Structure 1
Amino acid sequence: MQDLNHDLVVIGGGIIGVTCAWQLIQKGYKVLLLEKDDIGQGASFGNAGHIATEQVLPLASPAILRQLPRMLLDPQGPLRLDWRYLPQIAPWLLKLVANMRPQAQRNSSAGLRLLNEASLSAWQKLLQQAGLSKLLKADGSLLVCESESAFDDLYQHQRVLEALGVTAESWPGQHLHQQVSGLTPKIKGGLFFPDTAHVIDPYQLVVKLFKQAIAAGMEQLQAEVHGGRCLDNGIELNTSKGKLFAKRVLVASGAWSAPLVKELAGIKVPLDTERGYHLMLPSETHRLPMAVSSLERKFIMTPMEAGLRLAGTVEFAGLERAPDYRRAQGLVRHADALFSQPLDIKDATPWMGCRPSLPDSLPVIDRVGPQGRLLLAFGHHHLGLTQAAVTAQLMLSLVSGTPPELDITPFRLARFGQLPPSHTFNNSVCLPGS
């Protein structure tokens, strides 16, 4: 067994793992990153690129129950459940239903707001330090509606968000079309979110942060982690490259995190996956000045350096089933309906990725095990990009033993049940190099 001379081993080469590793490297920690595939090839490769600070409402809502029959029958709907996956996801769905209770929804919204309101400034600070500010466009985003009948829903949504502390400006049709030309006159109005942003190349963001971390001394090993165990003096990892012994380990493996946590800590986490799709239109590089989403159609269009990205839909079908790229191709029909002129779909490319989802729509940001040596950062569902920088700040606090700037209580693993006594710890004992 190889005894690693590192302060921390990060498992996961997506936006969460890489951003956490980058943050720790800047503070002088010795970090090894383990990833079985190429860096940034999971959900981080194809996300919508939207820094979605306005999205503070949990997935769990009574509307989900009303949509269940359609979810099972409509393969192209914005929210779909593959009926073949129903037996596996049934326990997760029951927990989702439990989180539809009013108090549970309030707790989820409060937790999402806590992270999201710090997310944009965290990204701006990190990217400035990294010299990558040009990758972020803080131009706000727009939510549009097409019908007069949707106005009530739109402004009710605005009232709900403002009650949660989200700034949303009402844009009537004339003002909206002055600000964003080329949209169809059928769009009657929208909500502008000034405190949002978008990334012009999410994949390059991960790659550039990874390369900077390597240049600063981080090491990488391309290996799959099959399991391991927590010991009093460290953590043993079973990998495709043999056994490794680490002082501390951060699990940031996205939708693949739950088996690792079960193996390492004996804790069962109710994690499943939302499969998201996008269609990239490389010929549409100047169509929009900001990200635009549709209230009725439930998808988003984000302008990027390489074209216009159409993204959206939630599909529950597990990690193994092959993608149904009809869901990506179908986004063109919805996007065309929002423009006066049809989109150029030449050389369009579809993509599907698995986003880690917990039934309360909150991530796990925590540390458990003897002396808190096992750190956890996963379950950010479709807000992984949004919350990555603030998660990295919180992880630095957990590693260093300093009080975090945000209360991480809503994100602790204990919310899913009482942890065994061996997994409790005191915040003061996990010091650098311990």
Structure 2
Amino acid sequence: MSQSQHSKTSSDTRFCSGDSEADILIVGAGVIGAACALELSRRGLKVLVLDRDEPGMGASYGNAGHMATEQVFPIADASLLKRIPGMLIDPRGPLRLDWRYLPKSAPWLVRLLWNLRPAPYQHSTAGLQALNAASLPAWRELLSSIGQSALLRDEGSLLVHERSETTGELAAVAARMQGQGVPVEPLSREEVRRRAPSLTEAVKGGLFFPDTGHVTDPHRLVQALMAAAESAGARFARAEVSSGEAQADGVRLETSRGALTVPRVLVSGGAYSAPLVSALTGTSVPLDTERGYHLMLPRETERLPLAVTSLERRFIMTPMDEGLRLAGTVEFAGLERPARMQRARRLLELAQGLFEQPLSDTDATPWMGFRPSLPDSLPVIDRAGPEGRVLLAFGHHHLGLTQAAITARLVASFVADESFASPTSSALADSAFTDSVSRAVRDTALPSLAPYRLGRFA
């Protein structure tokens, strides 16, 4: 949808007459919601997408752009216990916990630590590995289908180290990844510099992850998905959904444009999903937010050919069409506290030491966004409520971009269940269409939904 069209939509405070005829309303127009809108529209549903802002302007706008399929481990491990004091007192650290937010975040942190026990930790790892293994193929197919393959550069990524004493740590990372079936190739200093010649000679070596990649513009990616969804019949409108109720005959939503009743709803509102999920399903999900920061360097479009992560400095650099994006710092401070943009600007200090020639920070722009995080590091991908009318796709923490295409495919697989089809939708009632959906689902290697069920929080 063009900017002018969005502006017109934003100024209209009423729903269009056709909006009440939607088969499904999607709450959230980030990369998850946009990908789901496209997949569901293609399966014949009349889709309405609502968001308080323009598509892709939340966490999807400022993510690192890294297709992080190698990140198959939960966001915390046993080392977190000894790092908590530093998180509370070091405002410059890569992982920060605002002490004023500690009372509110304590229950979430307790559940996070509880999930470090061997059995739940292994369960989370298996769930992440299953989604990530299917993620890049799903993205290739989805982007190819809309003529946007150029947005994805699936040429791998690097993890580099600079100190001799971290050689063992790097080897341990490689061993853990290989243990989970993640392709990884150890590289010497010379091999790292062949792949990224601008890096400093101080780099001792690294790891190459061939089955990863990056997108050249995360915001444009979401816009492309929404445009394709609209071409397939979806509609977008700016509105904030405040509450709702799921009943046997439909889902009533309270929005900033008034009330609307639809046959079903998909909640993909990222870090803002929990209150609506509670209202619609009666389940209180322990959703918190990782506040992620980035610094965009628009004068550095040619500095790197692929995404590079630093083992010691704990951040990532991703080349994009509009410059070099430095990202990776995490802060736990909730949704309300103002951004601390000095955290974004510190990323430049970290990056400078990795290059032979200084980076230019002319016209650099900082950003902060909210990553939706659950304490077991797994998203919720499920359907709930009366007659399965409430679909759920949220809580992907820092893997929302990576897992969006396969999540959309999983959500779309729900329509293959005839009992879920709207009796008023001619497309879904058509037997040939239903057969084609069932065939597509059968032929696609979809992960089991068991690890991602809402019921684990009931």
Q: Which TM-score band applies after superposition, normalised by the shorter structure?
A: over 0.9
Deviation at 1:221, TM superposition (A): 2.1
Look up the match of 1:159. Answer: 175
What code does the residue aligned with 1:318 have? G
Distance in 1, matches of 2:245 and 2:406, equals 28
Structure 1: how far apart are the matches of 2:239 and 2:256?
Answer: 6
Name the aligned partner's letter for residue 416 of structure 1: F
Give the secondary structure class of the aligned counterpart of 2:273.
Answer: helix
Give the aligned partner of residue 103 of structure 1: 119
Q: Which residue of 1 aligns with 2:144?
A: 128
The runs of at least 4 aligned residues of structure 1 exceeding 3 Å deviation read none
Q: Distance in 2 between matches of 1:76 and 1:157?
A: 25
Aligned to 1:118: 134
Q: How does 1:388-399 map to 2 (within 5 A)?
A: 388-399=404-415
Superposed, 1:195-234 pairs within 5 Å as: 195-234=211-250
Partner of 1:288: helix, strand, or coil? coil
Q: Which of 396, 401, 410 in structure 1 is aligned with 2:451? A: 410
- Please report how far the alpha carbon of residue 350 of structure 1 lies from its aligned counterpart in structure 2 after TM superposition: 0.1
Residue 341 of structure 1: how far off its partner (Å): 0.8
CA deviation after TM superposition for structure 1 residue 224, in Å: 0.7
User: 2 CA distance for matches of 1:11 and 1:127?
Assistant: 22
Deviation at 1:179, TM superposition (A): 2.1
1:278 counterpart letter in structure 2: H
Q: Which residue of 2 aligns with 1:172?
A: 188
AA at the equivalent of 1:107 = H
The answer to which structure has the higher helix fraction is 2
Q: CA deviation at 1:241?
A: 0.9
Structure 1 unaligned segments of length 5 or more: list them. Answer: 418-434
TM-superposition CA deviations, 1:352-401 (whole Å, max 9, x none): 00000000000000000111110000000000000000000000012332
- Deviation at 1:262? 0.8
Q: Give the C-alpha shift of residue 134 in structure 1.
A: 0.5
CA contact (8 A) 2:309 2:317 kept: yes
Residue 233 of structure 1: CA displacement?
1.1
Moved more, 32-41 or 286-295: 32-41
Q: What is the alpha-carbon distance in structure 1 between the residues aligned to residue 195 and residue 58 of structure 2? A: 34
State the secondary structure of the residue aligned to 1:62: coil
Q: Secondary structure at the match of 1:165?
A: coil
Structure 1 residue 159: Cα displacement: 0.3
Could you say what secondary structure the match of 2:145 adopts?
helix
Alignment of 1:339-418 (within 5 A): 339-401=355-417, 405-417=446-458
Question: 1:69-127: CA deviations, max 9, x gaps?
Answer: 00000111000000000011011001001001011111111000000000000000000
Spell out the pairing of 1:317-356 with structure 2 (5 A cutoff): 317-356=333-372
Q: Are 2:153 and 1:137 aligned?
A: yes
Aligned to 1:427: none
The alpha-carbon deviation at position 62 of structure 1 amounts to 1.3
Q: Is the 8 A contact 2:69 2:136 kept in 1?
A: yes
TM-score, structure 2 normalization: 0.90
Find the aligned partners of 1:210 and 1:411 in 2 and give their Cα distance. 25
**In the alignment, does 2:117 pair up with 1:76?**
no
Is contact 1:60–1:105 with CA below 8 Å preserved after alignment? no
Aligned residues: percent identity? Answer: 55
SS at match of 2:290: strand
Q: TM-score, normalised by structure 1?
A: 0.94
Secondary structure, in 3 states, of the residue corresponding to 2:79? helix
Partner of 1:297: 313
Superposed displacement of residue 407, structure 1: 0.4
CA drift at 1:274: 0.2
Q: Which stretch has the larger CA shift, 206-215 or 279-288? A: 206-215
2:12 corresponds to:
none
1:252 aligns with 2:293: no
Asked whether 1:91 is paired with 2:107, we answer yes
| Secondary structure of residue in 1 paired with 2:413 | helix
Distance in 2 between residues matched to 1:87 and 1:166, nearest whole Å: 38
Q: Verify: 1:277 aligned to 2:277, yes or no.
A: no
Distance (Å, rounded) in 2 between the aligned partners of 1:189 and 1:399? 48
SS of residue in 1 equivalent to 2:109: helix
Distance across 1 between alignment mates of 2:190 and 2:254: 61
Distance across 2 between alignment mates of 1:99 and 1:184: 39
Query: Matched residue of 1:221: which SS?
Result: strand
1:20-76 superposed Cα distances (whole Å, 9 cap, x missing partner): 001111222110011111111100000000000000010131111110000000111
**1: CA distance between counterparts of 2:249 and 2:273?**
23
What's the offset of the Cα at 1:175? 1.5
| C-alpha deviation, 1:263, in angstroms | 1.1
Equivalenced residues, count: 417
Greater mean alpha carbon deviation, residues 185-194 or residues 398-407: 398-407
| Counterpart contact for 2:283–2:457, Cα < 8 Å | no
Matched residue type, 2:334? G
Taking the aligned partners of 1:400 and 1:222, their CA distance within structure 2 comes to: 29
Alpha-carbon distance in 2 for matches of 1:413, 1:134: 35
CA distance in 1, matches of 2:327, 2:101: 23
SS in 2 for 1:186: coil
The answer to whether the 8 A contact 2:162-2:204 is kept is: yes
Q: Superposed, which structure 2 residues align to 1:2-17 within 5 Å?
A: 4-17=20-33
3-state secondary structure, aligned to 1:89: helix
DSSP-derived class of the 1:4 partner: helix
